[in-house]
């Protein structure tokens, strides 16, 4: 079972990655391709966080896995929106 502290840390990482990516997404809609580096970093951060969730799910109990699954869906939705915005 994943420890409460490790789950809390991961959830904080997820929230930080989402907040950063949402900021870059909003900025991108205003500035078009001006901030490509930050936009790419935000996408990378989302992907790394997604991978961390997948790793944590292996040692999580059923309740924790459900929480991780919901967070993973949020990350995927934001990733998809950001990727589609660029094309």
pLDDT band at 36 (very low <50, low <70, confident <90, very high): confident
- Tell me how far CA of residue 75 lies from CA of 1, 31, 34, 54, in angstroms: 23, 23, 23, 12
Of 1 and 8, more confident: 8
Q: Tokens in use for 33?
A: 């391709």
Rounded CA separation 46/76 (Å): 8
pLDDT average, residue stretch 31-51: 86
pLDDT average, residue stretch 37-49: 93
Average pLDDT, the chain: 90
Delimit the domains of the chain by residue range.
4-85
What tens digit of pLDDT does each residue of 46-86 get? 999 999 999 999 999 999 999 999 999 999 999 999 988 76
């Amino acid at each position: 079972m994943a420890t409460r502290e490790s789950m809390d840390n991961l959830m904080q990482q997820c929230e930080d990655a989402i907040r950063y990516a949402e900021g870059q997404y909003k900025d991108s809609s205003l500035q078009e391709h001006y901030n490509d580096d930050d936009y790419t970093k935000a996408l990378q951060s989302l992907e790394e966080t997604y991978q961390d969730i997948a790793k944590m799910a292996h040692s999580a109990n059923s309740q924790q896995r459900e929480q991780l699954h919901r967070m993973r869906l949020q990350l995927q939705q934001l990733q998809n929106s950001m990727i589609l915005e660029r094309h």
